[in-house]
Structure 1
């Protein structure tokens, strides 16, 4: 065993010990919000009236209204493509949602032979969605039903970010500025490209590039920092601090290897490419992310909360610590987790994954 492998093993064992000691403290309770099941959900968004909207990949949005109340609304999404990792993905509210009812959506669109990520706006009146309009489509098309990205974030200046995956078989596209694959894209609410984007003439929408399959995206309201996380291949999952115009390495620089065991690149770092803030090797399969700000869990203030699919944990990552610290403060959950949000009540809400998923509310006992 190499020194690097031994060091990684020690780090992993340290996390596992932390998980176990936290589980024994029995301080917190993760309680199901309902008796019903969600079908392949992807995103969790709280409304001003405290109810939640949950996207399901088959094209429906669920409105939760208490323990036994659930309403499903099918969306008339044009050319919705549901296969593999595709379907209806993220949903986010406009800043003026309380007045306008406007939301932003992402979904996969097209056919098996030619599909892509699409971004759309819609209006929600509390009971139904109307005025669905596609404002941005990712190009080029691909023939794989995976690696869409699709996570949305609203920036303080009113522009939006969306993550896009590399399409799996098209990983070289992540390094090409004339491709929208493997990027974060910045766009206006009407779908146009902001004139101050870093590559305004060459690549009007590109904000950052060199990404694999980014599914976590969050803006820290306190500092303005933008954090993204993405799936590596076999290893090499990472958290990045995004800066406009920067290259985040994939597939030139990665800590991961191919699923076959083959080497993807000899480089874990490369000149003029940004190294990750956090590298997870072995993979944890990060699926979403939020920043905790609240009084219910003061010990977590300012930390990133990361849901994972493979590790089946909600991780708390403290980027302010040197070295970066991560724990699993709610170790007894032990399920595949799809999304996380901080509720208006200060509790942590976690969306589980799969065909019989649910929302968990985490609060002190």
Structure 2
């Protein structure tokens, strides 16, 4: 006997499934416009309250982009700036009191091929739009002789203290587990460059957490205050972590990745006393930055971490309210190496592409 099919009901069900699938894939109606082009190896972008953008370039310059699209480029007076490999001028972030003080925080590599490190400094934005009065606050130790894995991401906490991520120097990965080294760590410091008294390790006063490889993403949930950190793994094992003071995140004792040669780095994917990642990408996407999205332009992306990727050439969204967590590519038409991702004052998503001729792109609802 043949069963009669209610075609109207079937059509409704199919439409519902299609809409559900479309919603799960993220925003589909969007426009991509250029805010700035002809950028030279940019690393970070920040929007000022007056809608101007400041963009760091690794060679030691800062590009200012006005709302009308006009651009100026300033070479910063950074003493001992080290530009080689992954080293150079890196992150820029606004002080909490920026509207009054006009001050920013910078991170950059200093030294030479034989001895280089990560430095954090403050600077002031003059009435002419230039960064002046650059004052170094701290330089990591020990120095390394490799031009790789500097970390360098900055974030200010609700109490006014700051975090900066440091890489393991590539050839010094064992130092990520040593408290007498500031390599492979997240450091916490005050605006004056001193270590807060309530940091978790009395014998390592700046160390907030340890066991990191090359962390380049920090973001916080403004509602809960939870901190999230993201880092490059080797061949596989890129991570998103819940960042907690005093915790050990395992590198290189624990990793889900392998060496670029194909050799195993460690037999352990978990280990007592070391925190597992909330999420990992294997194979690697090479995550380069991260932001917590709370804007109104794309409601479907609220409560998501947005992660930019170099190797995977795109932008990924992690729904932090889902269990288990999952990663999906969004805005699939952007197939470029992405160095940084932020949200602007209107909730639009802004990405900074990577390379010698890069761009700052705005993604807005269509």
**Bucket of the pairwise TM-score, normalised by the shorter protein:** over 0.9
Cross-structure match for 2:183:
181
CA offsets per residue over residues 259-314 of structure 1, 9 Å max, x none? 11111000000000000011100000000000111211111111000000011111
Q: Is contact 1:33–1:67 with CA below 8 Å preserved after alignment?
A: no
CA offsets per residue over residues 132-180 of structure 1, 9 Å max, x none? 1111000000000000000000000000000000000000000001100
What are structure 2's unaligned runs of at least 5 residues? Answer: 1-19
Q: Is contact 2:26–2:300 with CA below 8 Å preserved after alignment?
A: no
Superposition map of 1:351-362 within 5 A: 351-362=352-363
CA distance in 2, matches of 1:187, 1:70: 33
1:219 partnered with 2:216:
no
Cross-structure match for 1:344:
345
CA distance in 2, matches of 1:240, 1:225: 11
> Helix, strand or coil for the counterpart of 1:249?
coil
What are structure 1's unaligned runs of at least 5 residues? Answer: 1-17
Deviation at 1:130, TM superposition (A): 1.5
Cross-structure match for 1:282:
283
Task: Compute the RMSD of aligned alpha carbons.
Answer: 1.7
Bigger drift between 24-33 and 39-48 goes to 24-33
Cross-structure match for 1:11:
none
TM-score by length of 2: 0.92
Deviation at 1:320, TM superposition (A): 1.6
Q: Is contact 1:19–1:331 with CA below 8 Å preserved after alignment?
A: no
Shift in CA distance, 251/128, structure 1 to aligned 2, threshold 3 Å: same
> Helix, strand or coil for the counterpart of 2:100?
helix
CA distance in 2, matches of 1:220, 1:325: 18
- Residue of 163, 168, 178 corresponding to 2:170: 168
Shift in CA distance, 303/118, structure 1 to aligned 2, threshold 3 Å: same
Q: Is contact 2:27–2:331 with CA below 8 Å preserved after alignment?
A: no
Cross-structure match for 1:334:
335
Q: Is contact 1:23–1:330 with CA below 8 Å preserved after alignment?
A: no
Q: Is contact 2:78–2:134 with CA below 8 Å preserved after alignment?
A: yes
Cross-structure match for 1:147:
149
Larger Rg, first or second structure (1 or 2): 2
Q: What is the aligned length?
A: 346
Cross-structure match for 2:238:
237
